[in-house]
Amino acid sequence: MFDVLIIGAGLSGIGAARYLQKRCPGKTWAILEARDALGGTWDLFRYPGVRSDSDMYTLGYGFKPWVQRQAMADGATILQYLLETAQETGVTEKIRFQHAVQTASWSSAEQCWTIAARNRVDDTMVQLRARFLYLCCGYYSYTQAHRPDFPGQSQFQGRLIHPQFWPADFDYAGKRVVVIGSGATAATLVPQLAKAACHVTMLQRSPTYMVSRPVEDALALWLNRHLPRQLAYDLCRFKNVLTGWFFYRLARNWPEQIKRRMIKMATDSLGADASLAAHFVPSYKPWDQRICALPDGDLFEQIKAGRASVVTEQIDQITPSGIRLASGQELLADVIVTATGLKINVLGDIAVTVDGAEFVPGDALTYKGIMLANLPNCAMTFGYINASWTLKADLTAAFVCRLLNFMDRKRYRVTVAHCDLPQGAESFLGFTSTYVQRALAILPKQGKRAPWRVNQNYFSDFVALRWGRIADGVLKFK
């Protein structure tokens, strides 16, 4: 019997373990990881140029300063940071790799969870029990991606690739590449592929907001030269959180003005060819969808150099030699990359039951964005959509440790976010991105008032989760 079982050894799971080590030193815990390596996203994604789309002073953990020069780092460097974090205090030794959790069953009579996991090494089922279940398994499927079935794609004579399953050592040098999509993955892939490919075309249905950001943070580098490492990191982290929050609020309060400013910035970055600007004029308001950050404007630079181009049009069908557009134009391609998005899942696709009854997360309200209504002794990590994932992951881990310590002091064994009054349910994320809209039915909901609202505000969450009352009348204890 464990006190806590953490599901997932990615960014959230490793951080959760470090918090438990420091703030709940008497607790027994383990991490179950379905894959054969830690790192989550940063070990799974191997496509060319994979990198963070957030600065590492906020994507990094609050307790472990980011010491590299790059503020926006490549995937391999981020993975090394995670490996160091796990190895420093022995977290790695408590990870049970190749354990894919299938079911999690809560028993009120026994006041514990029973978890059934498949050991992929010998294909046997393993059963473990825990007082508290801590889900750090991310928000998308590692085994499936969103793959639209384009008409005619079976007749394509080139290579069709989804970035989530990029083939090892694939040589794209000298090839004509079309990347379908305009989100963060496409914005990362296109400039990297353009360095070696014959030509790369980013084919988008509609434009996305894209802004250039410096690879290095000059203030952070100056602070690191003149202040102790942790203090310099804390100051830069606070500065970046405050700056991000400030511009997010500007965008939400004055969307048309900020939209004009962002379009002008993109136009200026593209240089003299004004015809290119139309491909960077979205139809939606800033932050209705996530904004793509371009390190040192790399995508703009490749477009200006003629090694990459952007086409905004609907696909008619895939042909043997490329893609025919609705206008009749054909884009010739040796390689088609479908950067068409992730497949969102909830609770790691684990079948959850409470006293034998199926628990449906899509029917539940979320408590402070951390627990689900009427689901006992369970927390989940779900990061921000307008800031770095780790900011909310850190706050979640600190809150879970506060909750567990409170229960120990009061000799409680069970806690549940109780909700018996119906209230209007709204989308969990309030985001218009296609991948979110596809998953509305399975995502939890949020209510109209606290604590059932999901704050996309680090400062509000910091106060509520670090200092707010645990016994708030909504959390019930036994």
Cα torsion for 305, 308, 313, 317, to the nearest 10°?
Answer: 150
In this structure, are 137 and 152 located in the same domain?
no
The pLDDT tens digits of the residues spanning 346-358 come to 899 999 999 999 9
pLDDT (mean) for 429-435 = 69
- Coil, strand or helix: which one is 353? strand
Structural domain total, the chain = 2
Mean of the pLDDT values across residues 330-340?
A: 96
Contact 131, 147 (CB under 8 A): no
Q: What per-residue confidence (pLDDT) applies to 374?
A: 94
Query: What is the predicted pLDDT for the residue at 274?
Result: 66
The answer to whether residues 192 and 334 belong to one domain is yes
* Same structural domain, 112 and 208: no
pLDDT averaged over every residue in the chain = 93
Same domain membership, residue 309 and residue 167: yes
328 and 423 inside one domain: no
Would you list the DSSP string of 92-128? GGGEETTEEEEEEEEETTTTEEEEEEEETTTTEEEEE
Do 191 and 332 have their domain in common? yes
Per-residue HEC secondary structure of 45-72 comes to CCCCCCECCCCHHHHCCCCCCCCCCECC
> Which pLDDT score is estimated for 334?
97
Could you read off the pLDDT of 11-68 as tens digits, one per residue? Answer: 999 999 999 999 999 999 999 999 999 999 999 999 999 999 899 999 999 999 999 9
Structural contact between residues 18 and 78, judged by C-beta atoms closer than 8 angstroms: no
Distance between CA atoms of 385 and 124, rounded to whole angstroms? 38
Handedness of CA 348, 349, 355, 357 (dihedral sign): positive
Mean of pLDDT values over 422-450: 76
Give the domain-ending residue among 340, 368, 391.
Answer: 340
Tokens of 349: 């696709």
Same domain, 132 and 153: no
The first and second tokens of residue 193, run together, are: 């592929």
pLDDT confidence tier of residue 441, bands split at 50, 70 and 90: confident
User: Is 307 a residue whose pLDDT tops 60?
Assistant: yes
Q: Specify whether 253 is located in the same domain as 190.
A: yes
Q: Residue 360: which domain range? A: 2-142+343-477
Task: Tell me the one-letter amino acid at 116.
Answer: A
Provide the token pair at 125: 């089922």
Give the gyration radius of the chain's Cα atoms. Answer: 23
Q: What is the per-residue pLDDT across 58-95, written as a single tens digit (0 to 9) for each?
A: 999 999 999 999 999 999 999 999 999 999 999 999 99
CATH number reported for the structural domain that contains residue 20 in this entry: 3.50.50.60
What CA–CA distance (Å, rounded) separates 264 from 274? 11
Does residue 318 sit in the same domain as residue 450? Answer: no
Tokens matching residue 131: 């007082």
- Which residues, in sequence order, are CB contacts of 10 under 8 Å at separation 6+? 38, 39, 40, 41, 42, 43, 82, 136, 137, 138
Instruction: For the beta carbon of residue 341, count every other beta carbon within 10 angstroms.
Output: 22
Please report the pLDDT score of residue 423 as a whole number. Answer: 61
178 and 285, same domain (yes or no): yes
Model pTM greater than 0.75?
Answer: yes
What is the spatial distance between Cα 369 and Cα 400, in angstroms, rounded to a whole number? 12
Main-chain dihedrals φ then ψ at residue 64, nearest 5 degrees: -130, 105
pLDDT score of 187 more than 70? yes
